Amino acid sequence: EIVLTQSPATLSLSPGERATLSCRASQSVSSYFAWYQQKPGQAPRLLIYDASNRATGIPARFSGSGSGTDFTLTISSLEPEDFAVYYCQQRANWPLTFGGGTKVEIK
């Protein structure tokens, strides 16, 4: 099973600041990698797929990078609605796996 480790667990930032979230895979997943956002009481929403492609309707302030084992989600300037929990996911191998999540909270 491919284990995804997200860091940091919590990120405390102010609106307008840049957020950098990381996810490391226990073995290479090539670019078969995604990021999701989840707000309290809501279902997750796909943000990024294939490591760097924005899903439909996702604002340009969200960007993804990386390949192999190390991936980054960057939010260039945090909006109030961006404070949420973010999960990474790989689809390179079964079972599909998710990271443990990074909570982006208001400082």
Q: Which is nearer to other proteins, 5 or 77 (CB)?
A: 5
Within positions 34 to 63, which residues make up the interface with other proteins, using CB under 8 A? 34, 36, 38, 42-46, 49-50, 55-56
Query: Is 30 one of the binding residues for other proteins (CB under 8 A)?
Result: no
Q: Which of 82, 50, 77 is nearest to 66 (CA)?
A: 50
Give the shortest CB-102-to-other proteins separation in angstroms: 10
Give the shortest CB-37-to-other proteins separation in angstroms: 11
Give the shortest CB-76-to-other proteins separation in angstroms: 23
Concatenating the DSSP letter of every residue in 51-98 gives TTEEPTT--TTEEEEEETTEEEEEESS--GGG-SEEEEEE-SSSSPEE
Distances (CA, A) of 41 to 21, 38, 69, 95: 22, 8, 31, 26
Binding site for other proteins (CB under 8 A): 32, 34, 36, 38, 42-46, 49-50, 55-56, 87, 89, 91, 94-101
